[in-house]
Amino acid sequence: MTHTERRRFVAGVVSGATILGAGCSGGVPGSDASQPPLDEMTVRLVDIRQPEVGLTSATFPLILGFKNPTDREIPSISGDLDVFLNETRIGSDEPVVNALEPGEESMYDMDILVEFADVSAAVVNAIKSGTFDMMVRGELNSGGASKRVSLGE
């Protein structure tokens, strides 16, 4: 991937990043006050660094930003995130982020190992079409609350 292609790729992913979130309540009216404000937390794709490329695989370093804009703490966050290249799943990660104090933002480094044999069709299609749309989708959990995230769509 040339420097220009990488810049277009990063610009497309970052500019298209959106958050889709919905908190889960405990089912008892008024009980969500005891759950952390996970649905108000913002998650963004901060950067995609230059991949390390080998003969059979590449490692894509992604940096995610987690921000707590509320006046309540969000306890330690965990989850399952899948990474897609042009709608083909190329890897996954199970992030664990320390508790976020009110107003705090934390960065999380996500290294996605991509085995070329597993995603060769997606890579060939991306090269042919000239589009490298990377998306991150999944669910985050904290203190009994959950949030669906979708970045890069």
Does the predicted TM-score (pTM) go above 0.75?
no
Strand partners, 149: 138
How many angstroms separate the CA atoms of 114 and 52, rounded?
10
CB neighbourhood size of 75 (10 A): 16
Closest by Cα among 63, 97, 66, 95 to 79? 95
Question: Across residues 124-138, what is the average pLDDT?
Answer: 87
pLDDT at position 27 over 60: no
pLDDT for res 121: 82
Assess contact for 109 and 63: CB atoms under 8 A. yes
Q: pLDDT tens digits, residue range 46-82?
A: 998 998 999 999 898 999 999 999 999 999 999 999 9
Assess contact for 136 and 18: CB atoms under 8 A. no
Tell me how far CA of residue 21 lies from CA of 51, 77, 94, 151, in angstroms. 29, 14, 18, 11
Residue 33 CB-density burial (10 A; 0-12 exposed, 13-18 middle, 19+ buried): exposed
How far from chain centre, in Å, is Cα 12? 15
pLDDT at position 132 over 90: no
pLDDT for res 10: 46
Question: Across residues 122-139, what is the average pLDDT?
Answer: 87
Assess contact for 80 and 141: CB atoms under 8 A. no
Total domain count, the chain: 1
pLDDT at position 19 over 50: no
Residue-number span of the structural domain to which 40 is assigned: 3-151
Residue 3 host element (H or E):
helix 3-16
**Pairing outcome for strands 42-48 and 105-115:** unpaired
Can you give the CATH number for the domain in which 40 is found?
Answer: 2.60.40.10
Percent of the chain exceeding pLDDT 70 equals 78
pLDDT at position 150 over 50: yes
Q: pLDDT tens digits, residue range 81-118?
A: 999 988 889 899 999 999 999 999 999 999 999 888 88
